[in-house]
Amino acid sequence: MNFLMVLAEVVSEYNEFFVKGMACLGAGIAMIAGFGPGIGEGYAAGKAVEAASRQPEMLGKLRTMMLVGQAVSETTGIYALIIAILLIFVV
């Protein structure tokens, strides 16, 4: 019986490390989601500059529209960051 208690304690300790390792791996995978918003925001900024060079009088509206679009697309990156932080520190 004593041996079984020691074995159960060792297995639970390894299980805890396995769960923590998988949580950190999941956090790393979640941070890959940061590439999408970065690429999308860069593309939107490039197109806004293109449009501003064609019609400089529309610069104010273009800037407002571009910033609102970038703020909306950045939310996916922020969600991924929150999930990664939760996986690292809570699990």
Residues with Cβ < 8 Å from 74, sequence gap 6 or more?
37, 41
How confident is the model at residue 89, as a pLDDT? 92
| Domains of the chain with bracketed CATH | 38-91 (1.20.20.10)
Render pLDDT for 1-53 as a digit per residue (tens, 0 to 9): 577 677 667 666 677 787 888 889 889 988 888 888 888 888 988 998 999 89
> What is the crossing angle of helices 59-89 and 35-54, to 10°?
170
How confident is the model at residue 32, as a pLDDT? 87
pTM for this model (two decimals): 0.68
